Amino acid sequence: MERLQEETTERLEFYQRLDGVHAAPLWAVLSQLVRPEPRSRCVPHKWDYAGMRSLLMEAGGLITAKEAERRVLVLENPGIRGLSQITQSLYSGLQLILPGEIAPSHRHAAAAMRLIVEGGGGYTAVNGERIPMAPGDFILTPSWTYHDHGNLGDEPVIWLDGLDLPIVNLFDASFAQTYPSGDVQEITRLAGDAQARYGSNMLPPEYVPDNKSSPLFHYPYARVKEALLQIGGADKLDPCHGIKLQYVNPVTGGYPMPTMAAYMQLLTAGFSGRPSRSTDATVYNVCEGAGVTLIGNERIEWSMGDVFIAPSWNTVAHQASERSVLFSFSDRAAQKALGLWREERLND
Amino acid sequence: MERLQEETTERLEFYQRLDGVHAAPLWAVLSQLVRPEPRSRCVPHKWDYAGMRSLLMEAGGLITAKEAERRVLVLENPGIRGLSQITQSLYSGLQLILPGEIAPSHRHAAAAMRLIVEGGGGYTAVNGERIPMAPGDFILTPSWTYHDHGNLGDEPVIWLDGLDLPIVNLFDASFAQTYPSGDVQEITRLAGDAQARYGSNMLPPEYVPDNKSSPLFHYPYARVKEALLQIGGADKLDPCHGIKLQYVNPVTGGYPMPTMAAYMQLLTAGFSGRPSRSTDATVYNVCEGAGVTLIGNERIEWSMGDVFIAPSWNTVAHQASERSVLFSFSDRAAQKALGLWREERLND
Amino acid sequence: MERLQEETTERLEFYQRLDGVHAAPLWAVLSQLVRPEPRSRCVPHKWDYAGMRSLLMEAGGLITAKEAERRVLVLENPGIRGLSQITQSLYSGLQLILPGEIAPSHRHAAAAMRLIVEGGGGYTAVNGERIPMAPGDFILTPSWTYHDHGNLGDEPVIWLDGLDLPIVNLFDASFAQTYPSGDVQEITRLAGDAQARYGSNMLPPEYVPDNKSSPLFHYPYARVKEALLQIGGADKLDPCHGIKLQYVNPVTGGYPMPTMAAYMQLLTAGFSGRPSRSTDATVYNVCEGAGVTLIGNERIEWSMGDVFIAPSWNTVAHQASERSVLFSFSDRAAQKALGLWREERLND
Amino acid sequence: MERLQEETTERLEFYQRLDGVHAAPLWAVLSQLVRPEPRSRCVPHKWDYAGMRSLLMEAGGLITAKEAERRVLVLENPGIRGLSQITQSLYSGLQLILPGEIAPSHRHAAAAMRLIVEGGGGYTAVNGERIPMAPGDFILTPSWTYHDHGNLGDEPVIWLDGLDLPIVNLFDASFAQTYPSGDVQEITRLAGDAQARYGSNMLPPEYVPDNKSSPLFHYPYARVKEALLQIGGADKLDPCHGIKLQYVNPVTGGYPMPTMAAYMQLLTAGFSGRPSRSTDATVYNVCEGAGVTLIGNERIEWSMGDVFIAPSWNTVAHQASERSVLFSFSDRAAQKALGLWREERLND
């Protein structure tokens, strides 16, 4: 794929006429369009939680959840500012709900996941059920499901949002609606209903799903951590990832939503991971512990609450100074559905 | 499909010559071969637990688990004796292990499920993990997995076995092996390992199963009952089935094994169910409570521990005098895979 | 799995009491019930076409197609007579329709396939389309589809039927109906409609099947043979099977019906195949050529029109004296769906 | 989703500090980010074939296929210039190969499809097989398969390319390689091999694909047109689409490649279609005939060879002045895999 050395006057004049009919010469852009390897415009970056929390609380004083509709500080990758993107394909933000507030009910084509960072007393309502949120809990609000949030406690509730908005918008497939009868959806199911119905390794007989997303919207931290500890006591650690599990849709065993994958991993104190890389740029949130992750040439020091991002095809190697638990999410579900995903373990 | 009124001498002589070349006239058997509706040779029947327990304990004195290899009283449908079949397609039996005994390790093409009826201290070892068994627990030993049983407690342990032996034998696909190095398989995983790895609504990242069966072998009664009660407190009851859930393979959301489906259902006190029927003959075990089930023209009274069978296409209507929990299993998984299953709710 | 040396009087008396409650001691039958390897009661056998044709024509004089409903000579495996079974799980027969005759329209739960052996002018009507039948053509009439046959030509039409009747009857799932408005279903589609709609590597946009069977009912011999010859000119032959293709459901790429698989294979003149064996007992029909197949200890010589059967787990090795084409069918689809199928190539 | 009426100085200063930490206030962009309905930046447009052909031939004199690597005029949607995109998610171009030329062999993550517009004698080599190309033929070169093109005839060969480059690049998953041993891949299969092996409603026994794309790379126009005419003679036309079929992967019955769907539709002379719209922006190429398509508020007149594009969620209504055949492709495969696709028929 050779760069063209020179463009003759003849060609340049030709290109102008092409432009006039909304065409362009492929050979002039081929090498940028079809790269031998991913070279993302995104860069590794960390948002320090203490700092972001402070800004969030300040936002809490500047605008109400109702006026904002969603009081969120969008995390923009420094390499691609101004697009509300943390990676090329994903959106992420930190959301705050103060005691007594409501984020009004709506639904949209974009799928969303939330990882609770701080605070009890918050809830997300989905599908007529109010899901209590505790730190480390993983909550889904799948595509086109009405959802609203509230805080019935007395402390601020903060969580990390992840949405596939850039994917939806690439496909020009965005739809959205506010809930037709008020800010708060009608509650028709008891808390824990979905867990009983779908999350207990049982399903209703002859259950036929009507969409591609998990009907289980709540994955409590306590259960996940227990599972990680159980495995961690038995397995030798994966040399790159420590002990890692992925959230699944119990109806299919597949990803919880068609576009996004999510994981929880445990790194033992002193863990020093081998580098690996994959095409799914990944957003991490630190649930417990402290350590360092080497991403490409960057060294990201992290501790509880921090959010950091590893771009596509950047090498990633984790080191934990104390026992740590990292949540992460990426577009791996979409990449695998579309036949695009690759992973490499290095120095094997 | 008319019965042929008369067979001429000419035809009868012709049939003899056919027989000599291992052929036969279809028109003479068509109406028996292709029935307009299922008319099973199986009949409804109940095995009273008190009586069977007594016989089991007697067997315990007559033969050791080791000599028997499996000390089981096979339940044979009164309509098809001598074939080790409780329905046309399924085998079932009650197995006893006494304290200190071992049922030696082996594996076979037939898939097996077990529902614990009585006793703590028993275990089933599968895939290198020892699974503790408590009453109401549902345990799988899938096709071709080495399994052995033991009783480390001080009371007898009794469970109900269900196997797809008649299906395996119809297809002439029976294989079996004893464990190569002793009566007891090597334990390589801690108890609860499969639950942590596969049963927590998580899976190992990039997990690819190498067979069609659930990697989760243990479904504890406590969790299932909790789920049924949770749903029971919310839903209006299914008019035929009460509150019912099916056991699933968490890797696929499908049946736990390719041939057999299994269910747990809760009937509230005073429940009087509408009749329904389906092509999957079903075996029931009473985990809790008491009641009556009308099967075809039979009236089966049942209480805790009893086993009863509803043949294919017989109407079934449950009535519970007290709150009851019924386990059941059938060949529905096979029938659905082969496009044969039907269900009807009657008096709709 | 030791045979029990002796049964004490005590045990024998106990077994009698078990029998009285419809139970039986597993340990007395375990070794017959759970075999280490398949040991089918079926045996290898060939039905010589010339002889069978003669008997068929005789049947043609003895009974009309209408009176018989289906004028078929059922091929019964010599090892399991009287059950209308050619293998444990499959039914097969040779059917004759004389010029002007009709086999009236009906439908049943059992799935059927037909391989035309002799005669033009015959048709099978399925799903409102009349499918012309020529020798070597493969025709499906899936579960619960109305089908009828006729002969608009001036020569007898003979074909080989294969049905999963024993499977349907094992599951007690037999249903059947005659066509509600006459012997001949209403024709609503032009001949070749399914081929255009489903068989051209295209499908109607957003096509959603409502059952598990191929919507393409006709696989003409000419196309299949052309494909075999094309591949045969390129590939080195499979050492066991020569050049072999399986019929597929174009909507899924899977088997044409959920229970039965079907194949066409080409053996070059002088082909001497290596032995292999598999758990799916297989029925063969010779479309072209002549040769010998060694099945277990039997030596089956065959030529055009002959039907022969290889039982489960019997070694099979084909030898062709001239270029030959063999059709075959088996229950492999069911075995694979149920996780039971195995294959071995020997002398590797 | 109210627009914020005013931003206070306080907020603006706060937003600046957010910007400094690579964050942004969601509430300031929410209504652009999450639209109630798709409002694509793309516009309807037609590239007139006569004009484009003339420019292509001129390009043929200005640059060799070898220097260009691919001598393609990229069609850029007038609404999103400079991005090599015909829709938000798809790339398309017109490619020319002159007699004797070669487009050298390479492979890339992006999947490609080609619809031949003009000229015989061209070939595409994929997977060791040289596929002859004739007008109206549909050719795939799936993700990561080596492909090269050549023209062994004596006339120019022109085709329409469609690639999922924007999708691959959104996910930062681009990989590419030149063929390691020369411009032209080694030919290891006879022409027609894939058709025989995979395209005849048969498959090799036990065939297991190793990727998500069709192994059949060539869908000749003659077969597709024959199928459309056959159906067209039988069916009443779809009120929106006429007679339409989609290309399928014979191994799965699904889309030919995981990201892109492709269709051929026949409109009878005088066809006046009802409007419909869908979220998959679609590129059309006119294989035969002439007519008008109303897209949104635009009126696109087309005739043979023309290329036109209908953006996401724009109403589309076709009218044919003479019998016409339209090829089209879109990202529907990706949208459906990701749970994003919607379609509406209007005036129902």
Least confidently predicted of B31-40, B229-238, D200-209, D331-340: B229-238
Question: What single-letter DSSP state applies at residue C189?
Answer: B
What residues have CB less than 8 Å from C82, skipping those under 6 apart? Answer: B24, C76
Query: Which strands sit side by side in the sheet containing C129-133, from one edge to the other?
Result: C129-133, C122-126, C147-151, C102-108, C176-178
Supply angle C-alpha C58, C60, C65, rounded to 5: 155
- Output the average pLDDT for chain A: 95
Q: Cα–Cα distances in Å, from B103 out to A322, B182, B187?
A: 46, 11, 15
DSSP string for B200-240:
SSEE-TT---SSSS-S--EE-HHHHHHHHHHHHTTSPPBTT
The Cα of A113 is separated from the nearest Cα of chain D by a number of Å equal to 15
Q: Between residues 151 and 180 of chain A, which touch chain D (CB distance below 8 Å)? A: 164-178
Query: What average pLDDT score do residues A208-230 get?
Result: 96
Burial degree of A301 (CB within 10 A; 0-12, 13-18, 19+): middle
> Inter-chain contact A244–B216, Cβ cutoff 8 Å?
no
B29 to chain C: which residues are within 8 Å by CB?
74, 84
Least confidently predicted of B57-66, B151-160, B278-287, B303-312: B57-66
**Residues facing residue B103 across a β-bridge:** B149
Burial readout A80-97 (b: 16 or more C-beta within 10 A, e: otherwise): beebbbbbbbbbbbbbbb
Note whether A226 contacts B: Cβ–Cβ < 8 A. Answer: yes
Compute the count of residue pairs across chains A and B with CB atoms less than 8 Å apart: 114
Cα–Cα distance measured from residue D194 to residue D202, given in angstroms and rounded to the nearest whole number: 11
| Number of Cβ within a 10 Å radius of residue A154 | 11
Which among A200, A224, A225, A316 is the top mutation candidate for probing chain B, defined by the most B β-carbons within 10 Å of its own β-carbon?
A200
Is residue C322 within 8 A of residue C291, CB to CB? The reply is yes
Residue B4: the pLDDT is 53
Cα–Cα distance measured from residue D10 to residue A236, given in angstroms and rounded to the nearest whole number: 54
Query: What average pLDDT score do residues A259-281 get?
Result: 97
Q: Of A262 and B1, which is predicted with more confidence?
A: A262
Supply angle C-alpha B85, B88, B94, rounded to 5: 30
Share of chain A above pLDDT 90, in %: 91
Q: What is the C-alpha R_g of chain A?
A: 22
Cα–Cα distance measured from residue B283 to residue B162, given in angstroms and rounded to the nearest whole number: 9
Task: Give residue-wise pLDDT tens across range C171-198.
Answer: 999 999 999 999 999 999 888 999 999 9
D250 to chain C: which residues are within 8 Å by CB?
201, 248, 250, 253
pLDDT(A78) > 80 = yes
Residue C1: the pLDDT is 36
Burial degree of A178 (CB within 10 A; 0-12, 13-18, 19+): middle
Cα–Cα distance measured from residue C227 to residue C224, given in angstroms and rounded to the nearest whole number: 5
Residues B11, B16, B17, B23: what is their CA dihedral angle, to the nearest 10 degrees? 100
pLDDT(A98) > 80 = yes
Residue in A204, A227, A241 closest to B200 by CB: A227
| Number of Cβ within a 10 Å radius of residue A346 | 12
The Cα of C314 is separated from the nearest Cα of chain B by a number of Å equal to 11
| Number of Cβ within a 10 Å radius of residue D60 | 18
pLDDT band of D3, cuts 50, 70, 90: very low
According to CATH, what is the number of the domain D45-345? Answer: 2.60.120.10
Length of chain D: 348
Nearest-Cα residue of chain B relative to residue C64? B27
pLDDT band of A4, cuts 50, 70, 90: low
> Inter-chain contact A234–B203, Cβ cutoff 8 Å?
no
Is residue A194 within 8 A of residue A218, CB to CB? The reply is yes
From B161, B160, B149, select the one nearest B100 (Cα to Cα). Answer: B149
The Cα of B219 is separated from the nearest Cα of chain A by a number of Å equal to 8
pLDDT(A5) > 90 = no
Is residue B83 within 8 A of residue B112, CB to CB? The reply is no
C256 to chain D: which residues are within 8 Å by CB?
none
Burial readout C157-183 (b: 16 or more C-beta within 10 A, e: otherwise): bbbbbbbbbbbbbbbbbbbbeebeeee
Q: Structure tokens of D237? A: 């036309």
Cα–Cα distance measured from residue B346 to residue B201, given in angstroms and rounded to the nearest whole number: 36
Note whether B257 contacts C: Cβ–Cβ < 8 A. Answer: yes
Note whether C192 contacts D: Cβ–Cβ < 8 A. Answer: yes
The Cα of D339 is separated from the nearest Cα of chain A by a number of Å equal to 6
Q: Of B281 and B6, which is predicted with more confidence?
A: B281
Note whether C87 contacts B: Cβ–Cβ < 8 A. Answer: yes
Residue D102: the pLDDT is 94
**Residues facing residue C307 across a β-bridge:** C47, C285
Query: What average pLDDT score do residues D159-167 get?
Result: 98
Cα–Cα distance measured from residue B215 to residue B202, given in angstroms and rounded to the nearest whole number: 13
Q: Structure tokens of A139? A: 């909550």
Cα–Cα distance measured from residue D263 to residue D287, given in angstroms and rounded to the nearest whole number: 12
Q: Between residues 113 and 152 of chain C, which touch chain B (CB distance below 8 Å)? A: 143
Residue A66: the pLDDT is 84
Query: What average pLDDT score do residues C26-42 get?
Result: 94
Residue D5: the pLDDT is 54
Query: What average pLDDT score do residues A69-79 get?
Result: 96
Residue A232: the pLDDT is 85
The Cα of A189 is separated from the nearest Cα of chain B by a number of Å equal to 7
Task: Give residue-wise pLDDT tens across range C211-234.
Answer: 999 999 999 999 999 999 999 877
DSSP string for C69-126:
SS-EEEE--TTSTTSS-SSSS-EEEEEEE-TT-EEEEEEESS-EEEEEEE-SSEEEEE
Chain position carrying tokens 């393979």: B249
Is residue D324 within 8 A of residue D266, CB to CB? The reply is yes
Residue C6: the pLDDT is 65
> Inter-chain contact D339–A143, Cβ cutoff 8 Å?
yes
pLDDT(C66) > 90 = no
> Inter-chain contact A89–D40, Cβ cutoff 8 Å?
no
Task: Give residue-wise pLDDT tens across range B66-89.
Answer: 889 899 999 999 999 999 999 999
Note whether D63 contacts A: Cβ–Cβ < 8 A. Answer: yes
Cα–Cα distance measured from residue D227 to residue B57, given in angstroms and rounded to the nearest whole number: 71
Least confidently predicted of A31-35, B239-243, C142-146: A31-35
Compute the count of residue pairs across chains C and D with CB atoms less than 8 Å apart: 113
Q: Between residues 275 and 314 of chain A, which touch chain D (CB distance below 8 Å)? A: 279-281, 311-313
The Cα of D215 is separated from the nearest Cα of chain C by a number of Å equal to 12
Task: Give residue-wise pLDDT tens across range A312-337.
Answer: 999 999 999 999 999 999 999 999 99
Compute the count of residue pairs across chains A and D with CB atoms less than 8 Å apart: 286
H or E segment to which residue B9 belongs:
helix B9-20
Chain D neighbours (≥3 Cβ pairs under 8 A) are A, C
Cα–Cα distance measured from residue C23 to residue B81, given in angstroms and rounded to the nearest whole number: 9
| Number of Cβ within a 10 Å radius of residue B12 | 9
pLDDT(C77) > 90 = yes
Residue in A45, A110, A280 closest to D34 by CB: A110
Q: Structure tokens of A25? A: 């010469």
Three-state SS at C229: helix
**Chains D vs C: touching, with 3+ CB pairs under 8 Å?**
yes
Note whether D205 contacts C: Cβ–Cβ < 8 A. Answer: yes
CA atoms within 13 A on the CB side of C242: 26
Share of chain B above pLDDT 70, in %: 97
From A266, A263, A244, select the one nearest A320 (Cα to Cα). Answer: A266
Q: What is the C-alpha R_g of chain D?
A: 22
The Cα of A48 is separated from the nearest Cα of chain D by a number of Å equal to 9
Residue C201: the pLDDT is 98
Three-state SS at B195: helix
> Inter-chain contact C224–D200, Cβ cutoff 8 Å?
yes
| Number of Cβ within a 10 Å radius of residue B127 | 17
D311 to chain A: which residues are within 8 Å by CB?
172
The Cα of B49 is separated from the nearest Cα of chain A by a number of Å equal to 27
From D30, B265, D276, select the one nearest A93 (Cα to Cα). Answer: D30
Residue C3: the pLDDT is 45
Cα–Cα distance measured from residue C96 to residue C149, given in angstroms and rounded to the nearest whole number: 10
Chain A neighbours (≥3 Cβ pairs under 8 A) are B, D
Q: Structure tokens of B73? A: 């009283």
- Output the average pLDDT for chain B: 95
Cα–Cα distance measured from residue D29 to residue D12, given in angstroms and rounded to the nearest whole number: 14
Q: Structure tokens of D200? A: 């005849």
Ramachandran angles phi, psi of D216, nearest 5°: -95, 120
Residue C236: the pLDDT is 78
B75 to chain C: which residues are within 8 Å by CB?
22-23
Cα–Cα distance measured from residue C179 to residue D53, given in angstroms and rounded to the nearest whole number: 59
Q: Between residues 12 and 31 of chain D, which touch chain A (CB distance below 8 Å)? A: 14, 17-18, 21-27, 29-30
Supply angle C-alpha C120, C123, C125, rounded to 5: 170
Query: What average pLDDT score do residues D316-328 get?
Result: 98
Note whether B241 contacts A: Cβ–Cβ < 8 A. Answer: yes
Residue A1: the pLDDT is 36
pLDDT(D2) > 70 = no
Domain edges within chain B: 2-33, 45-345
Residue D233: the pLDDT is 78
Chain C neighbours (≥3 Cβ pairs under 8 A) are B, D
Note whether B11 contacts C: Cβ–Cβ < 8 A. Answer: yes
Q: Structure tokens of A331? A: 């577009």
From B174, B119, B177, select the one nearest B148 (Cα to Cα). Answer: B177
Distance of CA D200 to the CA centre of its chain: 25
> Inter-chain contact C246–D204, Cβ cutoff 8 Å?
yes
From C109, C86, C128, C85, select the one nearest C176 (Cα to Cα). Answer: C109
| Number of Cβ within a 10 Å radius of residue B79 | 17
pLDDT(A3) > 90 = no
Instruction: Tell me the three-class secondary structure of chain A, residue by residue.
Output: CCCCCCCCHHHHHHHHHHHHCCEEEHHHCHHHHCCCCCCCCCCCEEECHHHHHHHHHHHHHHCCHHHHCCCEEEECCCCCCCCCCCCCCCEEEEEEECCCCEEEEEEECCCEEEEEEECCCEEEEECCEEEEECCCCEEEECCCCCEEEEECCCCCEEEEEEECHHHHHHCCCCCEEECCCCCCCCCCECCCHHHHHHCCCEECCCCCCCCCCCCCCEECHHHHHHHHHHHHCCCCCECCCEEEEEECCCCCCCCCCCCCEEEEEEECCCCECCCEEECCCEEEEEEECEEEEEECCEEEEEECCCEEEECCCCCEEEEECCCEEEEEEECHHHHHHCCCCCEEECCC
Cα–Cα distance measured from residue A224 to residue A202, given in angstroms and rounded to the nearest whole number: 18
